[in-house]
Homo-oligomer: A and B are copies of this chain.
């Protein structure tokens, strides 16, 4: 692509460095902004600047927050003895949207992945162990992504805690609600038969 302006070229380069935005999409966004009023661009700049300088991570759970301690960790109605271990901030949003969880979270920041060079020391695992031992946590719910890397991370954490008196559970895996059996992958379907649940127990839920 040949640009009529270096300013536009620079903006396209900066935009296309974002995930899933290619050169063509970036150009469309930049030309849109170039034709927009100054107010729209300045609003974007202000919010990006705040993202860079003012955004904090909660010192307890590592979730993004405007304060040193996030709204969930500082909420007295939340059960602090129940900690849900998730990979990222998006996972917290997904679980919060269900309105089914009243415990707190701990964001470890990813999963162990030797291929991507992510070892346990790159993740917030030490602060998790520290929190469990200091604050009498009773149960850890592992809500990591259902991949080999996620399973490895769960195994690693459970090994570290093998001498601690703590219950470790994983979120249920199985066929989605509303999903057709024939479209479920074999591994999921196989595991969901293996981990079948008592129908009478479900009725009492």
Contacts and interface: CB of A to CB of B under 8 A. Distances in A.
Interface in A4-35: 4-8, 10-11, 13-15, 17-21, 25, 27-34
Nearest to A25: B20
A161 B142 CA distance: 73
A63 B5 CA distance: 9
Contacts of A90: 27-28, 31
Q: Counting chain B CB atoms within 10 Å of each CB, which of A19, A38, A44, A54 scores highest? A: A44
Nearest to A30: B51
Interface string A45-60: 1111111101100100
A45 B48 contact: yes
B2 A97 contact: yes
A65 interface: yes
Identify the interface centre among A27, A65, A97: most chain B CB within 10 Å of its CB. A65
Contact of A2 (B14, B31, B96): B96
A4 B48 contact: no
A26 B90 CA distance: 12
Q: What's the dominant secondary structure at chain A's contact region?
A: helix
Nearest to A11: B47
Nearest to A28: B19
B49 A4 contact: no
11 contacts: A1-B97, A2-B93, A4-B63, A8-B51, A11-B50, A13-B47, A17-B43, A31-B64, A34-B64, A34-B89, A41-B52
Interface of A: 1-8, 10-11, 13-15, 17-21, 25, 27-34, 38, 40-52, 54-55, 58, 63-66, 70-72, 88-90, 92-93, 96-97
